[in-house]
């Protein structure tokens, strides 16, 4: 009689242990503490946190921005290759500096003043590579773009 009781207790214990290990996977606690990646472990919790965070907008590379600007300048000002290279380098440097200024922990007014100063310096550097006719066209393009920005702000 005692052997039957021991056999029953052993069988019940074995059945419970199989059930418990099946819930946790991998005959134990798995890769990360509790179960596999789909279980109750840290991976599921971190995935939940990642899904709730809004995605940051992707920054447009400086080279892409400069390429768009240079396409317009190239056709309007009729630039030669040396002028294109020199002006594109000036614009790349300016846009990178502008990104740094905008991300800085300063007041909005100070940022505006610094960006205006950077814009003036950039215009002076670009003008160094242009002839007189190109300078006049470049100035007209800048005024035209400034006027279109002002009309957008008024709306």
Residues 43 and 79 in one domain: no
Report how far residue 69's alpha carbon sits from residue 119's, in angstroms, rounded to the nearest whole number. Answer: 14
Residues 47 and 82 in one domain: no
- Count structural domains, the chain: 2
pLDDT tens digits, one per residue of 33-79: 554 555 555 555 555 555 555 666 788 899 999 999 999 999 999 99
Average pLDDT, the chain: 80
Residues 46 and 67 in one domain: no
Residues 144 and 94 in one domain: yes
Q: What is the pLDDT of residue 135?
A: 94
| DSSP for 24-91, written as a single string | HSTTSS-SSSSSSTTTTSHHHHHHHHHHHSPPPPPPPPHHHHHHHHHHHHHHHHT--HHHHHHHHHHH
Among 40-44, 62-66, 94-98, 151-155, where is mean pLDDT lowest? 40-44
Tell me the three state secondary structure of residue 130.
coil
Q: Is residue 89, in this structure, part of any structural domain at all?
A: yes
Report how far residue 68's alpha carbon sits from residue 64's, in angstroms, rounded to the nearest whole number. Answer: 6
Residues 81 and 141 in one domain: yes
Range of the domain at 139: 62-154
Q: Is residue 57, in this structure, part of any structural domain at all?
A: no
Provide the b/e sequence for 29-43 (b: ≥16 CB within 10 Å). Answer: ebeeebbeeebebeb
State both tokens at 39. Answer: 């279980």
The yes-or-no verdict on residue 108 having pLDDT over 90 is yes
Q: Which of 29, 70, 18, 69 is nearest to 10 (CA)?
A: 18
Residues 11 and 76 in one domain: no
Residues 106 and 46 in one domain: no
Residues 15 and 91 in one domain: no
Residues 79 and 127 in one domain: yes
Q: What is the pLDDT of residue 72?
A: 92
């Amino acid at each position: 009689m005692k052997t039957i009781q021991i056999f029953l207790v052993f069988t019940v214990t074995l059945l419970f242990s199989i059930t418990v290990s099946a819930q946790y996977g991998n005959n134990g606690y798995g890769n990360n503490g509790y179960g596999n990646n789909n279980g109750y472990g840290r991976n599921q919790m971190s995935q939940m946190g990642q899904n709730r965070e809004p995605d940051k907008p992707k920054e447009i590379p400086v080279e892409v921005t400069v390429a768009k600007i240079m396409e317009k300048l190239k056709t309007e000002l009729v630039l030669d290759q040396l002028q294109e290279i020199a002006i594109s380098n000036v614009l790349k440097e300016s846009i990178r500096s502008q990104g740094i200024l905008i991300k800085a922990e300063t007041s909005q007014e100070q940022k505006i003043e610094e960006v205006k100063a950077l814009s003036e310096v950039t215009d002076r550097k670009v003008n160094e590579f242009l002839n007189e006719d190109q300078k006049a066209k470049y100035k007209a393009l800048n005024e035209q773009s400034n006027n279109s920005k002002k009309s957008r702000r008024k709306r």
